[in-house]
Structure formats: C-alpha cells, structure tokens
Amino acid sequence: MIAFIFADLRRFWGGAVAIIVLLALSVALSSVVTLQERAVRLGTARASDKFDLVIGAAGSDTQLTLSSVFLQPSPLPLISGAMLDKLSKDTRVAFAAPIGFGDSAMGFPIVGTTTDLISALSLELEEGKLFSRLGEAVIGSAVDLDVGGRVSPMHGTVEAGGHAHTEIRYQISGRMAPTGTAWDRAILVPMRTVWQLHGMEAHEEHDHSEHADTPHDHDHEIDVDAPLDEVFDAKSPGIPAILVKPKTIADAYRLRQEYRSENTLAVFPAEVLTRLYSTLGDARSLLLGIAVGTQIIVVFALLLVAIMHIGARKRQIGALRAFGAPVRSIIAIVWGELFLLLLLGIFLGLAIGYAVAHAITSWLTATTAVRMPVEFAMNDVWLIAGFIAVAAVVSLVPALLALRVSAATALRS
C-alpha cells in the first residue's frame, strides 16, 4: 500500500509539490507571527530584569523606559540634581546611578553614568578595568572597538546633523561582559565628564525642563586625567533619569509611590513593558487571525484540488474495486496520499517559519543588542497537534467521496 502511494505521488509530483508549498507558506505565516512575538516579549523582559526602578521628570513612563533601559534616542526633560543627592543618601537605596544621553560615537550611544551601574550590569568585565579618570570609557560587549583605543564623541548623531566634540577623546579602559541588553551597544563614560563637556558645571543654575541632549551648544575644556569623582551633592546639574537599585522589594514599592508626583515619575520597567505587551498581543491576535483565515482558504483550495484529482482517477479507483480491493484499502490509499502531503506541508511550514523568525530576530539583536530567543513552547505543540488533526480529517473527505462512485460507473467514465 505504501509503495502504491509513493508510486502514485511520483506520477503526479507537480501537483504534490504545489500542495506542499501552498500549505507550507500558510503555516509559516502563523509560525513567524507566534515565534517573533514571543522572542520580542521574552528578550525585552529579560533585558529589563537588570533595571529595578527608573526615576525621571514627570512625563511619559513609556518614553522614560525606552530611553533609559533600551537607550532609544529621545529628548527627556531633566530632573534636579538634588534628587540624585537625596536618593544617594536614602537608606532604602543600594545605589542610585544617573544616566545622561546626547552624544554618540561611530553609531553607538555614549551614556554618562557611574561605575556602580556598570558593576550591576556586568559583575565582572570581560576585558580591562572600570574607568577611573574623567577621560576614560567602558564599552559594551557588542561595541566594535578595542580596549586601549580612543574614541571621539559627537553631540547627537550624524543623521541628526550633530557636531564633533574636538576637545576630548575617550580612552577605552574596559569592556563589559555580554548582558543581553541594549547597553551592550553603549559606550559608558563618567557622568561628570558629560556635564563638563556640555558646560553643565555643578555651580550653574539650569532649567529642569530643557532637554537632555541640548543643554548648550559650545564645548568646554576637560582635564581628562582628573581622578573619577562619583560623589554627587544637591548642586549637581540636571539629569534625564536615575536608575535606582532598592535594597528590598518593599523599598522598591515605597520609593515608586514616593516619587510618583507632579514633578517626578518613578516606574518599574517590567510593569511598563507588560502594558506594551498587551498592545503587542492585540497586534499578534490580528495577524494570527489573518494567518488562520489564509490557512482556511488554502485548505478549501487543497480540498478542491484533491476532489478534482479523485475525479481524474475514477477509472483507477474503479479498477481497484473491480479487482476486489477492500474498501478500507482504497480509503487508506486516497486518505494516505493527501494526509502525507499535508503533513509534509505543515512541517515544512514550521521549518520556514522558524528560519524566517530567526533571521528577523538576528537582525533585531544586531540592531538593539537585546537577545531575543526564538523557541517553541508547549502551546506550539498543541497547535501543531491541532494542525495534524485537521489535516487527518480533511484528508478523509476525498477518500469518502471516492467510494460514492460504483466500480462499473467508474470504469465506464
């Protein structure tokens, strides 16, 4: 029987290939949607795990999260330096690290921060040491520069028409171990250097509503060999955001409640992402609906093709029945041919979907440095089992139709 099925498929190999490809493309569409949505959700969730609490000026909590955790370029209103001093002295805080944006180098964002944050992101450096002077920098694992080399910062980006800071070249002192976050593509420098580079000395008064990436348009001389100073006071300049490491979970909730006010905003990045996931889930449902609709259309098209194929093989089926072939054997042959084709289409579609999702994720990871795992879950196993069950039932339709024609009628046709 199996030999008969394969021999028959070899005779009609063109139609068999068409059925497999049609079904594979429809299954691949739903697979890509499911795998890609899961990869983005898991990758961003894991990336946000290293950031407990973010405090900034009142505004959009989504933008604050995207800018501080995922380093998406966007002007943020400045928060008072006195807030950093207050948080640093708070007994509920393990450390409070300022972050400053606005500069870039070779397409990588330059972020002003402290060694505490670098140590929290990367417990041990992959190479070199933490910066200890104002003119030093630590690079992320995905930054294509060498430890010991130098890099010139640019205010803004080339695309935005930024200008180079000619008075300083950072010397790279170390490289972080991979973190799986957007900070793998960042160049981290002392926060005080960023302030000085943009003329934001501690004694100056600043309008806290001005944007972080445009405090001043002129550069200032910097003593690049000056020792690192990470002791901040109430006179410190404004900053876009503060990454806070609370000592306990209870402290985290108390701090968030305390700093959610008219002037400040405190967010849990994971909480903000959960809200974004709900929106992403709605889009996923829509795309899955389109994919399922496509699969239904494909299944009906395949049924039509199968029925026409059975019609063209009436004489062959009639001959088998005339020679005394059991009914179950004829059903098995007709059902087996179509089911085999559908099964091949399903698994080929899953393979194509996985390959496409993996390619998209690789591109996203190279762009954002956020590791996004492409992996099947138990829900997918049930979905695949559902596909196979539907294929088994659909394949019965032409098999049962083939028995409705008598042997004599089939031979005369």
Angle at alpha carbon of residue 147, lines to 144 and 150, rounded to 5°: 80
Angle at alpha carbon of residue 350, lines to 348 and 353, rounded to 5°: 110
CA distance 399 to 332: 8
165 by Cβ neighbours in 10 Å (0-12 / 13-18 / 19+) ranks as buried
Give residues with Cβ within 8 angstroms of 222, minimum separation 6. 134, 135, 167, 168, 193, 196, 197
The two tokens of residue 376 are: 């099947």
pLDDT at 305: 66
One pLDDT digit (tens) per residue for the chain, 413 residues:
565 555 555 666 666 787 788 888 888 888 888 888 888 888 888 888 889 999 999 888 889 998 888 888 778 888 988 899 899 999 999 999 999 987 888 889 999 999 999 999 988 899 999 999 999 999 999 998 999 999 888 875 555 555 666 678 899 999 999 998 889 999 999 999 888 887 775 434 334 333 444 444 444 567 778 888 888 888 888 899 999 999 999 999 999 999 998 889 999 998 888 887 776 666 667 766 776 777 677 777 766 766 665 655 555 555 555 555 565 666 777 777 778 888 888 899 999 999 999 999 988 888 888 888 888 888 888 888 888 888 888 777 776 766 665 544 544 55
Report helix, strand or coil for 349.
Answer: helix
CA distance 309 to 86: 79
CA distance 30 to 258: 45
CB 73 within 8 A of CB 211: no
CB 4 within 8 A of CB 339: no
Cross-strand bridge partners of residue 112:
100, 189
Question: Which among 139, 101, 133 has a CA at the least distance from the CA of 118?
Answer: 139
CA distance 104 to 158: 9
Q: How far does Cα 148 stand from its chain's mean position? A: 32
Report helix, strand or coil for 260.
Answer: coil
CA distance 111 to 227: 19
Give the position of tokens 């002077």: 133
pLDDT at 22: 82
Report helix, strand or coil for 265.
Answer: strand
